[in-house]
Structure 1
Amino acid sequence: MKHFSKLRLQNWRNFRDVDIRLRPRAFFIGPNASGKSNILDAFRFLHDIVSVGGGLAEAVRRRGGISKVRCLHGRIPSNVEIDVEITMDSSKWQYFLSFNQNKSEERPRIVREAVARNGATLLDRSAEQEKNDPLTLTQTHLEQIGTNRDFREVYNFFLEIRYSHIVPQIIRDSRRNVDDVEDPFGGDFLRRIHETPKKQRDARLRRMKDALAIAVPQFEDLSFEVDEGGKPHLAAAYRHWRKSPSKQREESFSDGTLRLLGLLWALGEKAGPLLLEEPELSLHDAVVAQIPSMLATMQRLSGRQVIVTTHSEALLSDAGVGTGEVHLLLSTVNGTEVRTAADIDIVKHLYEAGLSIGEAALPLVKPERVEQLSLFSPL
């Protein structure tokens, strides 16, 4: 299995300095604005560097510039650093990137970029070494096919990272569908289904139909079709009092159905690490409670790593979720800290006493004085 086994962030978004050991399945929990999305965005950032039309400058631009990326709690030096360890079969890869940007500079510049395999250095470049040609520091060697030959495996691994956070309104509105652009919020969802080879697509839709038949009342069938204008659609049939089932296209699907479809499709993809942001949204707790088992089944079949952010106790109620897989985001005046549940005594003791990891860990990340919200008056 190929997976991220370590993530270290310095001066990244909410995080002044965190070092996280990762298992093939990881869950991040924390209060609102603690940085759960920004953890996932660190992996998305690496993907954006190597994606078509990407690169370091474009990855920073998409996030609003260096001031949006750099941690507000940062100190001098103010370099933004991402350091990851990747386990690939018998190899341990490490990719390190440090970058910065002054007000006088048009694009971010690399302070240091390094790649190692099993402890052997394959690349170690610094601003000091390339000060005579500073333009070279605006591009990583990772993003350049001509310079990443010795660590192309890292490039390919980052390229396969997939983030999924379906927004039902985007799928329903055909005007917001995108062509030839990757959109993790659902703008490319129907197109990706359309571009999947028919035999593979039909097999995946049959498995999705079986899952929907369990989760969605009166659901009977799921099919794929293309309209007269060439636009792809999903169609579902529902039982009712008439003899023939009622048929609807995706614009009439409920939020929960669309989110579940997005999750089921993502689980069937054969790619790299899968990043899921709050997959419990719009779903019944009984369905949410089955997601960890669904993820475990996917991993047995595909070997994909999955990294999840969640607020849901139902999702973390699965007995198979261990303390080493759950990471707590704790907000402080010096930025967000990250602690693994296995390293927190009270969580370990409660878990060993029979509580689920959700029951043991989620109370530690609820907002302080949250009960006082009940006293809020709009007048």
Structure 2
Amino acid sequence: MSPTTPHHPLPFITRVRIENYKSIAHCDVALGRFTVLLGLNAAGKSNFLDALRFVRDALMHGPAEAVASRGGWNEVLRRVPEPATSCTVGVEFQLSSTTDGAVPWRGWYEITLAPVAVSGTVRDAGPGVRILREFCEMRRPGIQGQPETESFLMRDRAGEGRRHRVLELSRMDDDEPFARLHATLMEMFFYSPDLSVLREPRPSTPVFAGLGEDGGALGPALAALGEQERERISQYLGAIVPGVVEVGPTDPSADYVAARMSFATDGESEPHVFRAESMSEGTIRAIGLLTALFQPDARDGWIPLIAVEEPELALHPLAAGALYDALTEASESVQVLATTQSAELFDRKEADLSAIRVVAAEHGVTVIGEVDPVSRSIVADGLATTAELLRSDQLRPVVDPPAQLDEQPGGEKE
């Protein structure tokens, strides 16, 4: 993306439909600029995020590699109440045009994959993967009220068509607007930090490649931040860890760079300086999260969506307020999608319950939906907090029934 290219409309992904992916039999979930998947442990929150990451990985590396990296079909397809034979992930999106000032595109992209059947007539997409269906449609207002539409539909029927190893969208490098959609989907950022990686010093290089999804290159990432972003991170960390004065990198001119913070207690004239290896787990995780949220690629429009697993991990519940503020502020520049099993993020007057998608497990199957009206009323009347409802397993999702084929985006009856 060039500096003159408009930012992505927010939110980038407005709706996600998943069928038979891991523990999710069916879900149809609307997303906003800031959305939190809230549920108890093992409810299936991470599976929702991974379905989006699966689309990204299938476009980037191919469907076969996306399946293999997750342990094969046994780890990808839903198993209960009966084994599924295919899985579908679809996303509704809005996308800026390459022409400055043009109306954004809106559309739907969906893939359906399956294991290769034991049959000599089946066409497959590489080792063990068959692309059953790939659909994309993009629309925007056109001249004289006539909508401008771009679309394609690829179906695999036994004995027909060529052998597909790569998703069609991945082939469209020079075909606008599909090429732009492909590039934007591949820029989605799934932040899942590794504690040891967060602490690692990394070589100082003239050209910074960006923060790793595992938290790698945290020091160089802090060095690449602008003064304003680094100040915001310092302020948020000071609210999370009282006494923090400043957050930044160790000497950027050195061969290796790591995260650093200065810390002062009452009565001390000079703050103490701590490198990454000396910080507590909660502190270094908070610095990594804040850096991911305010990284230049997100601020400048290169990253359309940041997904975060359990941002409150290893932090005291009192830090929830600062985390909520950081997540909502970041969502002014990039779509933010987070999972949590701690409803303390929303135990405050200004918290918007419409940002919550409740995730629950029912008989081994994940269900996802907005907060049900009864729970909303209980919280609004002050009879219980969101956290209390969650802890007592009384926070329930509103779940719509699966749409029929002709009601689904790109669907048509056979």
**What TM-score does the superposition give when structure 2 sets the normalisation length?**
0.76
The answer to whether the Cα contact below 8 Å between 2:219 and 2:249 also exists between their aligned partners in 1 is no
Q: Distance in 1 between matches of 2:29 and 2:363?
A: 20
Secondary structure of 1:110 counterpart: strand
Distance 2:282 2:94 in 1: 35
Q: Which 5+ residue runs of structure 2 have no aligned equivalent?
A: 1-9, 97-103, 119-123, 141-148, 203-207, 396-414
After superposition, give the CA deviation of every residue in 1:204-252 in whole Å (9 maximum; x if it has no partner). Answer: 2232223333332332333323488721112222236765433221111
Instruction: Give 1:79's aligned amino acid.
Output: S
Task: State percent identity of aligned pairs.
Answer: 21
SS in 1 for 2:167: coil
Among 41, 48, 68, the residue aligned to 1:39: 48
Counterpart amino acid of 2:219?
Answer: L
Name the CA distance, whole Å, in 1 between partners of 2:348 and 2:363. Answer: 33
Q: Which amino acid aligns with 2:271?
A: P
Question: In structure 2, how many angstroms separate the alpha carbons of the residues matched to 1:109 and 1:334?
Answer: 27
Query: Are the counterparts in 2 of residues 165 and 185 from structure 1 also a CA contact under 8 Å?
Result: yes
Q: Is this contact kept in 2: 1:328–1:365, CA < 8 A?
A: no
Residues 45 and 359, structure 2, Cα contact 8 Å, conserved in 1: yes
Superposed CA offset, 1:49-81 (max 9, x none): 344xx2222222211122211111275761110
Mapped to 2, the partners of 1:231 and 1:321 lie a distance apart of 41
Deviation digits for residues 145-185 of structure 1, max 9, x if unmatched? Answer: 4475442232132122112233333322459xxx9797422
1:182-197 mapped onto 2 (5 Å cutoff): 183-194=212-223, 196=224
Q: Equivalent residue of 1:324, what SS?
A: helix
Distance apart, 1:109 and its partner CA = 1.8
Assess, with a 3 A threshold, how the Cα gap between structure 1 residues 299 and 83 changes in structure 2: closer, same or farther: same
Equivalent pair of 2:184/2:304 in contact (CA under 8 Å) = yes
RMSD over equivalenced CA pairs, Å: 3.1
**Which among 294, 319, 340 is matched to residue 310 of structure 1?**
340
3-state DSSP of counterpart to 2:304: coil
Partner secondary structure for residue 349 of structure 1: helix
Further displaced range: 200-209 or 16-25: 200-209
Pick closer, same or farther for the CA change 1:181–1:66 going to 2, 3 Å.
farther
Task: Report which of the two has the higher share of helix.
Answer: 1
Equivalent residue for 2:353, pick from 320, 323, 336: 323
Distance 2:250 2:130 in 1: 47
The reply on whether 1:285 has 2:317 as its aligned counterpart is yes
The Cα of 1:279 is off from its aligned counterpart by 0.5
- 1:170 aligns to what? 197
**Correspondent of 1:59 among 47, 62, 66:** 66
2:147 paired with 1:138: no
User: Separation in 1 of the partners of 2:387 and 2:166?
Assistant: 42
Checking the alignment, whether the CA contact within 8 Å between 2:59 and 2:167 is kept in structure 1 is: no
Match for residue 347 of structure 1?
A: 375
- Report the equivalent of 2:89: 82
* Structure-1 residue corresponding to 2:146: none
The 1:298–1:45 alpha-carbon spacing in structure 2 relative to 1, beyond 3 Å, is: same
Structure 2 counterpart of 1:274, from 306, 323, 329: 306
Corresponding residue number in structure 1 for 2:180: 153
- For the Cα contact (< 8 Å) 1:107–1:138, is it kept in 2? no
| Alignment pair present for 1:94 and 2:83 | no
CA contact (8 A) 1:49 1:143 kept: no
In structure 2, relative to structure 1, the CA distance for the partners of 1:74 and 1:131 (3 Å cut) is farther
Which moves more between the two structures, 92-101 or 233-242?
233-242
Structure 1 residues 328 and 36, CA gap change in structure 2 (3 angstroms) = same
3-state SS of 2:329 partner: helix
In the alignment, what sits opposite 1:259? 285
Matched letter for residue 188 of structure 2: I
**Count of residues paired in the alignment:** 353
